Structure formats: C-alpha cells, structure tokens
Amino acid sequence: MTPRFDTILITGAAGRLGTQLRRGLAPLARKLRLSDVVEISDLQPNEEAILCDLADEPAILQATKGVDAIVHFGGIAMERGWDQILNGNIRGSYHIYEGARKNGVKRVIYASSVHAIGYHDLETQIDANAPHRPDGLYGLSKCFVEDLGRLYWDKFGIETAALRIFSSFPEPQDRRMLWSYLSFDDCIRLVTAALTAPRVGFTVSFGMSDNSVKTVDNRLAAHLGYQAKDNSEPFRAGVEARTDTPDPKAAAVRHLGGWFVDLGHPDEEAAK
Amino acid sequence: MTPRFDTILITGAAGRLGTQLRRGLAPLARKLRLSDVVEISDLQPNEEAILCDLADEPAILQATKGVDAIVHFGGIAMERGWDQILNGNIRGSYHIYEGARKNGVKRVIYASSVHAIGYHDLETQIDANAPHRPDGLYGLSKCFVEDLGRLYWDKFGIETAALRIFSSFPEPQDRRMLWSYLSFDDCIRLVTAALTAPRVGFTVSFGMSDNSVKTVDNRLAAHLGYQAKDNSEPFRAGVEARTDTPDPKAAAVRHLGGWFVDLGHPDEEAAK
Amino acid sequence: MTPRFDTILITGAAGRLGTQLRRGLAPLARKLRLSDVVEISDLQPNEEAILCDLADEPAILQATKGVDAIVHFGGIAMERGWDQILNGNIRGSYHIYEGARKNGVKRVIYASSVHAIGYHDLETQIDANAPHRPDGLYGLSKCFVEDLGRLYWDKFGIETAALRIFSSFPEPQDRRMLWSYLSFDDCIRLVTAALTAPRVGFTVSFGMSDNSVKTVDNRLAAHLGYQAKDNSEPFRAGVEARTDTPDPKAAAVRHLGGWFVDLGHPDEEAAK
Amino acid sequence: MTPRFDTILITGAAGRLGTQLRRGLAPLARKLRLSDVVEISDLQPNEEAILCDLADEPAILQATKGVDAIVHFGGIAMERGWDQILNGNIRGSYHIYEGARKNGVKRVIYASSVHAIGYHDLETQIDANAPHRPDGLYGLSKCFVEDLGRLYWDKFGIETAALRIFSSFPEPQDRRMLWSYLSFDDCIRLVTAALTAPRVGFTVSFGMSDNSVKTVDNRLAAHLGYQAKDNSEPFRAGVEARTDTPDPKAAAVRHLGGWFVDLGHPDEEAAK
Amino acid sequence: MTPRFDTILITGAAGRLGTQLRRGLAPLARKLRLSDVVEISDLQPNEEAILCDLADEPAILQATKGVDAIVHFGGIAMERGWDQILNGNIRGSYHIYEGARKNGVKRVIYASSVHAIGYHDLETQIDANAPHRPDGLYGLSKCFVEDLGRLYWDKFGIETAALRIFSSFPEPQDRRMLWSYLSFDDCIRLVTAALTAPRVGFTVSFGMSDNSVKTVDNRLAAHLGYQAKDNSEPFRAGVEARTDTPDPKAAAVRHLGGWFVDLGHPDEEAAK
Amino acid sequence: MTPRFDTILITGAAGRLGTQLRRGLAPLARKLRLSDVVEISDLQPNEEAILCDLADEPAILQATKGVDAIVHFGGIAMERGWDQILNGNIRGSYHIYEGARKNGVKRVIYASSVHAIGYHDLETQIDANAPHRPDGLYGLSKCFVEDLGRLYWDKFGIETAALRIFSSFPEPQDRRMLWSYLSFDDCIRLVTAALTAPRVGFTVSFGMSDNSVKTVDNRLAAHLGYQAKDNSEPFRAGVEARTDTPDPKAAAVRHLGGWFVDLGHPDEEAAK
C-alpha cells in the first residue's frame, strides 16, 4: 500500500525519541528526512539525513522544503541557560514554522513537554485548556512554541499537534515516572495518531502511557485517536524497591513538573 | 424469564435502523408494535404492524395506545425540504409525544442525530450540554424534538433518551465514519440501555461505537449504561484505500456534521 | 444625521411591544415597515404598514423585501394550542428567516422569551449557554426559532440576536415581575443595542431591567452593549401591598417561567 | 520485600468493610492495629486489637500513637439519631484527626459515603467538586469529616483521601446497587491505592466498581490510581428477577442517595 | 403598612452584629424576639428577650416557637477550643434547625463566615459553589451549619440563606479589611434582602460591601437582591497611614481567611 | 504623606502610554526612574532618566537596581519583523525579569495586549484563563512575557500583573475602539491599582474603560481593584459619523484583535 506521506521531516532525529521515531514512523512515509546537529548513524534506505542547527534559518528553510509533515522533536531537551534555550528552542522553532509556512508544509507534530505546565498540582487534574505554568526556561520555550503553533494555525492554516511529553524513557526511573511514563511504543503511537488524525487544527495532548495513576485529563485531545497500550505496572516493583517513598508535601511531588520545580535559575545551577 | 416490557412501539420500523431494532429489541418485550409509512415485510410472531403516517394525528394516537415505551426512529432521515421536515419530523413527533401523554406511555427513546449539533467543531469536544447548532432543516427538526422531549419530561413526567445517532451503517463508508461509526449491534446496545436504565429523565447521549478517534464527550449520559463493543478499526484499511485523505481545513472535516454543513438550503439543492 | 438603517421591518407592530418599538426605533431608520395581522392605527410619516399573516409565506417574502433588518416581535405571544403555535410561531418564523435569506436581510432581532428556559431554577443562575427548558408549547416555539436563527447564522451568515424577554409591561403586575420586569424604555434600549452592536453572530440575551433581584447571568451578551436604566423598585411597595407573599416552594416561584410551569397542556387548559 | 508501612490503624475493624480490609491490607504493613467498640475475633499474628470507643478521646490518642497511616472506617454506619451521630462520627472523627496531629500520622483514608452527596441527581453526573448535599444526619457527619480532613491538610499537612463508599456488600441487593455496587475486592483496591498514591493532599474519590451504569464522574481522583476490576453484571439477572422495576420518578431513584432521601428525621423514624 | 413578618427571632442579639440587626430589622416585623446568653440591654417596645444558651435544646425549642423566620447570628464568633465550638456552633445550630423543623419556621438566615472558605486564594476568585476550605475549628463549624441548612432544605423544605460575613465592623481595621469590609448598614441590607427574597432555597452569599478590591464572585446569590451601598474607600487613607504594606507572599495575605490561616490549633494557641 | 514606593522604574517612558504614566504615577513614588531608547523630554524633579535599549542586558540590570516596582511598558508596540520583536520584546523582557530577580524587585506591571488573545471571538466572552491566541508576532511576544511573568512568580516569587491593554489612545479612532477604548486616565487607574493591590501573584487583567459594549469577562482580575471611570460614549457620534458601519462577518470585526488578524506575516507586509 502506498504510504500516507511522501516525506516526513524528523528534527532531533539523533536524539532519544528521534531514534525511536525513525523506526516507528517508517511505515507512514516513502521517505524520512532526518535532521540533527549531530551525525545520524546507521542511515536506512528510506532515510536521508541533514546535518544542521535549528538556529540556522537558511538551513532550516532548506530542510523543510518538499516535506508533507514535520515531526519537530529537535532543540534543547532539558533545563539550560537562556542563550541555549533562546537559540535552540525559541529561534529554532520559529525557523521551523517559517520553513513550514514558506514551503507549504501542512502539519507539525511538536514535542512539547509537561514542563510547559509543570507548576500545576497533580490533584487539580488539569486539562489542555489550563493556562501555561512553565517550571523553567526549558518549559517557557515549550510554551512559546505552543503559542507559535497556535498562531500559525489561526493565521496561516498550518496544523499543530503539541504533544506534551511527560517522561519517555526505556523504563520508569523514579517514583514519579510511575505516572509520567510514556513508553517508546506509545510515543510512536501518539505521534502516528497526530500525523494521521483527520483534523488537528491546534491541539494539545498530554503524552503518557496508560498508567494507573493519572494526573491530568486528556479528553480534549480525544480526536487524535491516540490509544495507549503500555503502562508502568511491570516496572513498579523494581522502582519501588530501589527508591524511597516520596514525601507528598515536597514541591517536586506536588507539582506535575517534578524535580524541575526545585531547580533554581539555570545560570545559578550551572555555577554550583 | 418474563420480558421487561409488554409492548414496545418502534416507529420507522421498516427503515435501516428500525429493521435492526426489530431483531435487537425482541428479547425485551412480549410484543413489538411496528409502525411505518411503508409495509413491514417478514412479520414475526412477536410483532404487529401498523401502516400509518406520523403526520396523521389520530392514527398515531391509536398506534401509541397500550404501549409501555416508544422507540421513535421514524420520520424523515435526511436533509429534505421544509414541508417534508415539518410534517414528518416536527408535526409527526409532536403526535408521538401527544400519543404518549394521552396514553400514559412512560418513556420515549428518540433517534436524534449528530446533525442537531453539526456546526460544532471536532476539537471543541463538546458534551451533551453544549447549545444546539443544527446543520440543516433535518438537524433543526432534531433540535425541536429534543426540546419537545425536554418539555414533556419537565411538565408531564414522560422520560426521553435522545440518542444523537452519528453514522449507523453496516460499515463505515468514508473517512469521517471512521470516527462517527455506530455499528448496528452497538445501536441496539444503546437503545437497550436507554430502555432499561433505571432513571433517564431527559438525557442526551451521543451514539457512536468505541472508535479510536473520539470527537465528543459522552460522560453526561453515563447513567444510561451504554457500553460500546464495536469500533471502526477493522474497516480502516479498506476505507483509507478507497478514499482520499481529507483536507483538515474543509468545513465538512472541521465540523461534526460532515458534508451536511456544505449543503445549501434544501429548496436550492433540490433545484440543482 | 443619516439614520443607520434605511428600512427596518417590525413584525407584530400592533402588539404591546411592537407599539413601543415604533416609537423607540424611529430614530434608527429612515422608514419603519410595520406588519401585523391587525390593522396598525395612527400611522406616522416614517412608517408603512403591511397587513399580513406570518403563516402566509408569499406575503412574508414580500414584506421582507428591501429591508435592512427585521425586528421580529410578531406571532403568538402566550400559551396557545398547537395549531396556533405551529402556524404563528414555527411556520411564521420560518417564513421570516426564508424572507431574510432570499431578500438578503443581514440581521434579525427576535423576541424570544424566558419561557424558552422556564423550567430552570432561579438559584441556578443560568447563563445563555444553558440548555433549553421550555415551559409550554409557546416556549417550545421560542426554542425552535432560536435554533432556526442559529442555523441561518451558521449556514447563511444572517445574524440573530435572540432577546429572551422576561416581562415587558407598563409596570410589574405581580411579585415575580419585581425581578422579571423589563420596562418599555429598556426594551427599546435592548433592541436598539442589538440592532447597532458591531458583531452579533448568534447571540442570546436575557431581557430584563436592572432590577435588584437578578435570576440569570447575562454576561454572555455583554457585546450587545445593552445598558438597562430602569428597575422595578419604584413599583415594589405597590405590588407588595396588593399581592400575597409568594410561597418559595411553589413551582411557579422556583422556576424562571413563573405560572407557565403550572399550566397543563393547552388543549386541556382550553377545555377547562 | 519490606512492606510499605510499619503500622496501619484500621478503625471499625470488626465491621463489614473493616473485616475485609484486615485481609486486604495485610500485605501493606508489618502490623495492622485494629480498633472497634466490639471485640475483634480471630486475631492474626500480624494484628493487634484495641477495644475502644471513638468518643473516648484519650483512648483514641493512644490508639493513634506510632501508626503510619489511619484507615478510618469506624463510627456509625447508617442513619441514626443525633446523639449517636454526634458522638460516633463527629466527635469520634475529631478525636482521630487530633490523634493524627498529635502523633504525627501523615495520611488518613476515610470512609466517607455517597450520603454526603445524596441529594444530587443521577443525571447531573457530578464530580468531586460538587457541593455537599447530605441526605440525613449520617451524611451530614460525613460532610463534616470531609471538611475536617480538608482543614487538617491545609493547616497541619495531614493528607486525607475521603472515599465516598457507595454500596459495598457481598453482592448487589437491589436495583440501585447495580450501579452503586463496590465489590469487597474493589474496596480493598481503592483503599490500597489511596494508601500508596504518591500524592493525596485532600482528595475525594467516589467508591464504586466498574459498573455499566455510572452516575458520577470520578476523574478528579484519577491520581489515586484506583482501577476497579469488578462490576455488577454477574448479579444483574438475579437482582432483576427478584425486584421490581424502579419508578424513575421516585425520589429514591432520582437521587444518588437512594432510599435515604425518603427517610424522615431519625427521631421520628425511630418513633414509628 | 403591615410589616412582612409577625415575629423574627434574632440569635446572638446582644453581639456586635445582633445589636445592629435589632435596629435594622425592626421595620420588617411586628415583633423581634431576641436571644443571647447575656442579657439584652435597652429593650424596645417591639422587642422581647430570651436569655438562653444555644446548647440548651429545650430552651431553643421554646425560643423558636411561633416565629416566622430566624436570623441566626448567635454562637461562638471566633476561633476557640473544640468544646466551645462544638457546643456553641455545632450542637447549638442543630438545636436551631430542629426548632425550626418542629415549630414550622420557614426560613433561616445564617451568619456563616469567610472562614468556611478561608484557605482559598484571593486570585482564584471563587464563587459560592467552590468546595469548603475552613481555616480553623470556627470555620469548620460554619461549614457544618451550611451543610445542615442544605439538608434541612432538601429534606424538610426549610430555606436557608447562608451569608458568609467577611469583616463587619464599624470601620476597616487593617489592610485586609479594605476588601473584606461589610458596613453595618450593608449587613442589614444583606439580611433584609435574604429575608424578603422571593425564593432562597439553599443559597450561599458572600457578605461584603461594594469595595474596590473584590476577592470573590458573588453572582450565584444575585437572586437575593442584595445591593451594597457602602465601600471602604473613605477609610483607606487612614488605614494605610497606620498599617504597614502587606507582604503579598504571606499566607495571611494570600488566603481569603487572613490571619486565621496563621493560627495553630486553638488548644495550642490557648496554651501560649 | 510618604508615597508608597521609593522608586518605580517605567520602561518605554517616552512612549504614548509611558508619558501618561509619568504624570499619573508621580504621587505613588518618591522617584520615577524613566527608561527608553529615545531621550525623555521635559524631565521633572521627581524623575530620573536612563537612555538604554531593552536588548542590552547589562544596561537593564543596572536600570532595575534599587527599584521597588517595574512598570514595563517598553519594547516594540506594534506588529514588526521577527528580529525587532525578538530583541525588543522577548530578549528585552527577559532582561527586565532577570534584573528584577537579581535586584530583588518584587512586582512587575506589564503592558500585555489584546493581541495575546486576538484570535478569540467577541461573542465567546473569554475570561483571563482562556488559552493564548496571538494574532501576530507582536501578540506572540506578549504571550511569551506573560508566561515569563508566570514563571518568575511560581519559581522566584516576583509578582506580575499582566495588563492586556486594548486600545489606549486620546480618543477612539474607529468603530472597534468604541469597545476597546482605554482612556489615559483609566490606564493610569489600572496601573495604579495593579501597583497597590495587596496581592497580585500572577494576574492577567483586560485593560478597557467602562464602555457599553463589553467583549471580555474581567472578573478574574477583580482583586486588583481597578474601577474604570471613563467610557467611549462621548465619542460615539463622532466616530460613527466619520466611519462606515462594520461588516459583522469580517474577520477584523469578529475577532478581539481587530485588523491585526488581517495582517500577513510582517516580512511580507513590509515587502508590500
């Protein structure tokens, strides 16, 4: 069967999730174009690679040419100083959307993050319409790109699914990940759903597996058609055995953002 | 075991869904009374048929005599000119409710439609309390009957479950039906739930199978106890193979009502 | 100064409120076209009269020709039998909207009624998004026309302001009217605001003066710019002196619709 | 593996649910301390028993010493006269919370009840933020203890999960229990989830199995991680065979509280 | 003109607000019955006094005999130890409602308090449906009586207006009172409105003057018809001159309850 | 009387609103520090001026030293190309907040804009919790700074009042400004309220005068204590005489952002 897309661009393709998406999205497109600041290893026949920096506007304009959809997982993936965040995430994502606009790309799947709403409490059970509450410069940049996506939909008709990834790792590493865990396979399911949903407009979805403890209400993204199939239960005993019971009153336990809320300003963290 | 009802009246019994309901509701009642404007074929021992027009008030008064519940699936089932809608759906349904009132029928299950709320957007994820937004004269008549049912509950104590049927066909016929599909068996499950729920009052429920892509929030009808068991996934590959990818910005893709929102006034459509 | 409109059609112009609107809307239009089933007395130079029945589709098509806006206050104004309601309000209003569509009229101001939501409780403090809960056939027809207006906006781009008139009389006549009172001058202010607001789309507004006791939340119509200037306080002492203290548990006191909720079916009321 | 808790206190341990919890919570703690006003039979090696009355403040201060968590299922479990409710539930629960505060207990799992919100309607589909609407003195005391738990969280940092038990019996006994049923195993799952959830703060959860008919919206407690595994379907045929079809208009069918709403004041019920 | 009520009972009539209400409510009733634990001075011809304790059930049963409405402002008016709160507010108010039930009193106006919701934040702008969050034992007793009023309305048809008094003093005494101030005259207006509103059912209203800074949303009580006429501006300069600028991050500034949230348990406060 | 603040920094002090604020805020502080990229004319004795660019981090760090509050009205005030917006508003505002953090400034009053939510519809009547919907790069930068303010409150305890200025001009210049008008005096009142409110945390307020037509719901900012005293009515006749009646279906009339929504990308607008 002909794949749905001719070419999909994956940014951050050398990263932890980018690597998974290369595998997972292969059936959806004739060709995957992969971009990253580091070299992509092990290139497959259905792949082409572009070595470029998101902060390099002309390069991004070039990279987004001729693609049907962009899976934008590139940029800085943790709390970092302002200049890195500004260049990698704010300026970089602006270049991606400008590339999409100038090259006629119709849909962007964006790796937003729980850290865009990290200061909300677990027991509030927020939905996707809750106001932004970033927990650091990283989260702030995620808020920015969500708003950017919203603008490019409202004004230029480019669809965005902003997927607020919680914790996507091979397995849960701490107690918090027992509820924030997004398995790699579920991550692929979520991106696939967002790419193939009949109508996205501008949609925010929380990205988690079907874990028992649920800390947000994802009903406003139900039209993406994402159906998680994994959960963290198989890892529970192991995690609990090697970690302490959390203090429910600790800020990092109370808030969705976890230990990010305990971080000071990255300049000062770096100076420590 | 004694069936729960003595006699259930099914209007529109010769129609696509009426035919299914004859089969599906048989276990619930000692007798099914079937009404339609066309002759019912293949009458079963547990069935009795009445040939009558919903616009004929005395006939409907007669047809509703001695029944325990009415499954009102009759009337015009698509966009049609005003006179047909007025007679078949507005006047016709008024006759049904008057029959219920005068004959002491306690519960009506009404085939409302997605077209009562067809102008809402998918990504709004409306619930049953969202205001009416009909997408044509047909949908307008569905709104009318919902309000009629609400009135007869508030004033006369007759319960109504208004089931907003999305797309109930043997199988999904286009991309939209991948999310709007209601299998025949799930349709029977939904009507059965509405007939047997302990308390209905006036309840609006969306009628869909358990499809992956969900475009509305049905939690306000959870007391009906409807549990969908089917979904559109087995038909996905086939539908996608023979239909084009929809344009997410098209009005018919954006709105719940689908291509109904593209229709002009039925008088002018008819003149085309 | 040139008035804002060339010609405004007022239906029901011989009625209680229609008569007030003739006076009040005069400054807004070069000409007021007045329609009613009874003859309009005392015609002014800025006025022209049409004697016609809303149920007469060709006549209404004619009456709506060449007008800039329609102030639709005609039809049956109280609880009546089904045939009267059907012809005067349901069919009649359909004719008005068809006239608007065919003749290119851009805005309709419709006299809806508290009886479209008469079964809601006072202390719920509903807003304009609350579901319809008509308290009789009259209210049911008001719900129908609201949905009709919504449809003609969504599909044909004709704006409607549906003004749910509470109790517009020379002065409050009973205890309930101390909160439901809409003075004639405030009624004119409300219609004027709805005619001149920059953007109406489909808007529902509750129509009351600035009475002390407030039973609904009108914030969703704030863009109409209606500013009530009257209230019922000057009439309080008189009303209280000549009426009994209401029983708070009576259905007619509990519900917005007042004594309409106590009415039985109009056929049976008529038979009393 | 070391159990999560050293000592858990279960109040009302000789009661219907207390007995189940002895079995179900055993794996969670090295020791279960059991309190009741009647003697606990069949004491296990992992258990210790305290015979005491909740109204006896010093005894409760003693019973709560050295425990890690309190599962407070004691007190009066049905509608009773004021003095019993006051002593057993209001004063008794105050003593429990004072014991927790003075002895440094960090989490309380409280058996609240559907009767704290018994006057809400089924079709409203309330969530945990809906205002209290107790259906008797028993329910009123449950409201009180919920507010007490809220206060001790806000002011003293003691967490409470208030579990509004619907109907926890060996099997459903009447039609209402087909939706209100909480199996004993699900009850244990719910208490276990509440004890082990990473963050509780003050959380209200409805306590039901996964029955088909659902009458409340429990999403605000999703962070407890409770996953019901049972439902009432296996008992449906039996219950329906031996009970009458309920009247949907009966107060006891309309309201969440069931037949409690039909009870008069307990003093007068007792005098009957 | 005949006053609206024959006899109104005011509890706590010797207190700060009770004294004001004696003056303010005089025009509403032929006779004011005044109760308090201390002697009422300066008895007027339209007044009769009863010296009794709210904890004395038979006395309260007697005091509520033959009255048309109860203005229940008695009981403990500040944070106190459990026994005082239990007897004065919990048991005492139960006696009042039992008196109302047994003696057929139809409406109770209850002096609830901001301290029933003292742990909510100012900037949340809660309305009357927000969950209880008491800030001490005093506030907890206010929550209890609100729920008691709700029960007696739902079950016995006795109406309650629960007025959450913020700060009713001769004038604002600190910075917080610039927003929480309720002038004595506005307090009288509020109680008068609650006594004379056509329908109260169970209604919660926040009690404040029309101060510039508003910290709660009172729209759900708009049917009481309370119109504040005073505000704190005349006192602003004085208060600001003699008090320090508050620290916005202080718990007592953040929360509606003010310095009550800083209080520890009353037993320990008393021991200081 | 001693003014409330020692030193307030006003950025953009040479601008249209900055100039008004110099006059209006003078009574609040011993000294106003004024910053802008252009020279401030007519310096008063209570003023000191700093010529600097917001993009110059060290200069801003210096400018924010020793101030008690910052009234941040500087930066680009209209739709401009990305580089200008990035430097003036995104980087510039980050420097302001970093200055606040490093210099211990406790409160920031930020001139946000209607253009942060410009794609919402008038008739939706959004409140301050509605998601961002910027209508251009300018609005996008306003969203960014709101989120920045939110972060600096949640993480560093610096309060922000984000005032979404609608249209603050000497008088309304077009039909839209009849509802979006914020008089200069009301602008001063709003900033003053935000500076002096007892608790701000992170608060978003819409900035408009008390115009008749209201297009948003500002209740969530009621704790700022802003009381508009002006409105656009005195200018209505003039505006209406010299401008055409707007087309209600035009995008610029439908959306809060007005003609900003009609703008293309600034790069292309510039190229026109």
Task: Give the Cα separation of D73 and D165 in Å (integer).
Answer: 10
Task: Give the Cα separation of B100 and B69 in Å (integer).
Answer: 9
Q: Is F155's Cβ below 8 Å from some Cβ in E?
A: no
Question: How far off is chain D from A105, nearest CA to CA, in Å?
Answer: 37
Q: Is C189's Cβ below 8 Å from some Cβ in F?
A: no
Question: How far off is chain D from E268, nearest CA to CA, in Å?
Answer: 11
Q: Is D155's Cβ below 8 Å from some Cβ in E?
A: yes
Which positions in chain B touch D253 (Cβ < 8 Å)?
198-199
pLDDT of residue F2: 80
pLDDT of F154 higher than 80: yes
- Which of D94, D110, D119, D138 is flagged as catalytic? D138
SS (H, E, C) chain E: CCCCEEEEEEECCCCHHHHHHHHHHHHHEEEEEEEECCCCCCCCCCEEEEECCCCCHHHHHHHCCCCCEEEECCCCCCCCCHHHHHHHHHHHHHHHHHHHHHHCCCEEEEEEEHHHCCCCEHHHCCCCCCCCCCCCHHHHHHHHHHHHHHHHHHHHCCEEEEEEECECCCCCCCCCHHHHECCHHHHHHHHHHHHHCCCCCEEEEEECCCCCCCCCCCHHHHHHCCCCCCCCHHHHHHHHHHCCCCCCCCHHHHECCHHHHHCCCHHHHHHC
Cβ separation of A150 and F135 shorter than 8 Å? Answer: no
pLDDT of residue E215: 98
Do chain E and B touch: 3 or more Cβ pairs under 8 angstroms?
Answer: no
Torsion of CA F196, F198, F199, F202, to 10 degrees: 0
Cβ separation of B123 and A203 shorter than 8 Å? Answer: yes
Query: What Cα–Cα distance (Å) separates residue B197 from each residue in B96, B103, E105?
Result: 21, 22, 39
pLDDT of residue F41: 85
First and final C-alpha spacing in chain C: 56
Identify the helix (H) or strand (E) that includes residue B36.
strand B29-36
- Which of E110, E119, E138, E226 is flagged as catalytic? E138
Band of pLDDT at residue E1, cut at 50, 70 and 90: low
Task: Give the Cα separation of E231 and E247 in Å (integer).
Answer: 23
Cβ separation of C198 and F217 shorter than 8 Å? Answer: no
Chain E residue with minimum CA distance to C236? E196
Q: Is B245's Cβ below 8 Å from some Cβ in A?
A: yes
DSSP string, C138-161: HHHHHHHHHHHHHHHHHHH--EEE
Q: Residues near D33 by Cβ (< 8 Å), separated by ≥ 6?
A: D7, D8, D9, D10, D47, D48, D49, D50, D63, D67
Over pLDDT 90: what percentage of chain B? 96
What's at F197, amino acid-wise? Answer: A
Task: Give the Cα separation of D75 and D96 in Å (integer).
Answer: 11
Identify from E1, E156, E199, E202 which residue to disrupt to test chain C contact, counting C C-beta atoms within 10 A and taking the largest count: E199
Which chains have at least 3 CB atom pairs separated by less than 8 Å from chain D?
A: A, B, E
Which positions in chain D touch A233 (Cβ < 8 Å)?
none
Tokens at residue B227, please? Answer: 């549990």
Which positions in chain B touch C136 (Cβ < 8 Å)?
151, 155
pLDDT of C41 higher than 90: no
pLDDT of E110 higher than 70: yes
CA atoms D206, D211, D215, D218: torsion sign: positive
pLDDT of residue C50: 97
Chain A residue with minimum CA distance to D204? A123
Q: Is E203's Cβ below 8 Å from some Cβ in C?
A: yes
Task: Give the Cα separation of F7 and F107 in Å (integer).
Answer: 12
Cβ separation of F254 and C199 shorter than 8 Å? Answer: yes
Cβ separation of C199 and F175 shorter than 8 Å? Answer: no
Q: Residues near A100 by Cβ (< 8 Å), separated by ≥ 6?
A: A64, A70, A108, A152, A158
Task: Give the Cα separation of B256 and D172 in Å (integer).
Answer: 40
Chain C residue with minimum CA distance to B135? C151
Tokens at residue B261, please? Answer: 């929102």
Cβ separation of D123 and B193 shorter than 8 Å? Answer: no
Nearest to D34 by CA among D24, D84, D19: D19
Cβ separation of F1 and E241 shorter than 8 Å? Answer: yes
pLDDT of residue D268: 85
Identify the helix (H) or strand (E) that includes residue B92.
helix B92-103
What's at A163, amino acid-wise? Answer: L
Chain A residue with minimum CA distance to D160? A248
Q: Is F151's Cβ below 8 Å from some Cβ in A?
A: yes
Beta strand E5-11 pairing with E69-72: parallel
Q: Is C155's Cβ below 8 Å from some Cβ in B?
A: yes
For the stretch B176-222, pLDDT in tens is: 999 999 999 999 999 999 999 999 999 999 999 999 999 999 999 99
Q: Is A150's Cβ below 8 Å from some Cβ in B?
A: no
Cβ separation of E198 and C254 shorter than 8 Å? Answer: no
SS (H, E, C) chain F: CCCCEEEEEEECCCCHHHHHHHHHHHHHEEEEEEEECCCCCCCCCCEEEEECCCCCHHHHHHHCCCCCEEEECCCCCCCCCHHHHHHHHHHHHHHHHHHHHHHCCCEEEEEEEHHHCCCCEHHHCCCCCCCCCCCCHHHHHHHHHHHHHHHHHHHHCCEEEEEEECECCCCCCCCCHHHHECCHHHHHHHHHHHHHCCCCCEEEEEECCCCCCCCCCCHHHHHHCCCCCCCCHHHHHHHHHHCCCCCCCCHHHHECCHHHHHCCCHHHHHHC
* Main-chain phi, psi angles of C10, to 5 degrees: -110, 120
Identify from C127, C147, C261 which residue to disrupt to test chain B contact, counting B C-beta atoms within 10 A and taking the largest count: C147
Q: Is F249's Cβ below 8 Å from some Cβ in C?
A: yes
Question: How far off is chain A from B17, nearest CA to CA, in Å?
Answer: 26
pLDDT of C267 higher than 90: no
Query: What Cα–Cα distance (Å) separates residue A185 from each residue in A41, A189, D28, F13?
Result: 21, 6, 32, 54
CA atoms F43, F47, F48, F51: torsion sign: negative
Band of pLDDT at residue C269, cut at 50, 70 and 90: confident
What's at E266, amino acid-wise? Answer: P
Across all residues in chain D, what is the average pLDDT? 97
Chain E residue with minimum CA distance to D261? E155
Question: How far off is chain C from E203, nearest CA to CA, in Å?
Answer: 7
Task: Give the Cα separation of B201 and B157 in Å (integer).
Answer: 8
pLDDT of residue A1: 62
CA atoms C167, C172, C177, C178: torsion sign: positive
Q: Is B78's Cβ below 8 Å from some Cβ in A?
A: no
pLDDT of residue E269: 78
Q: Is A139's Cβ below 8 Å from some Cβ in F?
A: yes
- Which of C97, C110, C138, C181 is flagged as catalytic? C138
Question: How far off is chain D from A211, nearest CA to CA, in Å?
Answer: 8
Task: Tell me if residue C90 falls in helix, strand or coil.
Answer: helix
Cβ separation of F106 and E213 shorter than 8 Å? Answer: no
Cβ separation of E147 and D150 shorter than 8 Å? Answer: no
pTM of the model: 0.97
Task: Tell me if residue B174 falls in helix, strand or coil.
Answer: coil
Q: Is C244's Cβ below 8 Å from some Cβ in E?
A: no
For the stretch D199-255, pLDDT in tens is: 999 999 999 999 999 999 999 999 999 999 999 999 999 999 999 999 999 999 999
Band of pLDDT at residue F247, cut at 50, 70 and 90: very high
Over pLDDT 90: what percentage of chain F? 96
For the stretch E93-105, pLDDT in tens is: 999 999 999 999 9
Over pLDDT 90: what percentage of chain D? 96
Cβ separation of D4 and A245 shorter than 8 Å? Answer: yes
pLDDT of residue D195: 98
Which positions in chain B touch D237 (Cβ < 8 Å)?
1
pLDDT of residue B41: 85
DSSP secondary-structure letter at D82? Answer: H
Task: Give the Cα separation of D254 and D238 in Å (integer).
Answer: 23
Across all residues in chain A, what is the average pLDDT? 97
Which chains have at least 3 CB atom pairs separated by less than 8 Å from chain A?
A: B, D, F
Q: Which residues of chain A have pLDDT under 50?
A: none
Cβ separation of C213 and E198 shorter than 8 Å? Answer: yes
Cβ separation of C224 and F213 shorter than 8 Å? Answer: yes
Chain D residue with minimum CA distance to A242? D1
Nearest to A223 by CA among B163, B217, B209, B190: B217
Which positions in chain F touch C199 (Cβ < 8 Å)?
122-123, 246, 248, 253-254
Question: How far off is chain B from A27, nearest CA to CA, in Å?
Answer: 14
Task: Give the Cα separation of A90 and A82 in Å (integer).
Answer: 10
ipTM value for the complex: 0.97
Q: Is D213's Cβ below 8 Å from some Cβ in B?
A: yes
Cβ separation of B159 and D248 shorter than 8 Å? Answer: yes
Nearest to C111 by CA among C24, C191, C26, C42: C191
Residues pairing with A181 in the sheet? A167
Task: Tell me if residue D66 falls in helix, strand or coil.
Answer: coil
Chain F residue with minimum CA distance to C160? F248
Query: What Cα–Cα distance (Å) separates residue E240 from each residue in C218, E177, E246?
Result: 37, 11, 10
For the stretch B56-91, pLDDT in tens is: 999 999 999 999 999 999 999 999 999 999 999 999
Q: Residues near B23 by Cβ (< 8 Å), separated by ≥ 6?
A: B188
pLDDT of residue D118: 98
First and final C-alpha spacing in chain F: 56
* Mean pLDDT to the nearest integer, C37-55: 95
pLDDT of C54 higher than 80: yes
What's at F34, amino acid-wise? Answer: L
pLDDT of D158 higher than 90: yes
pLDDT of residue B1: 62
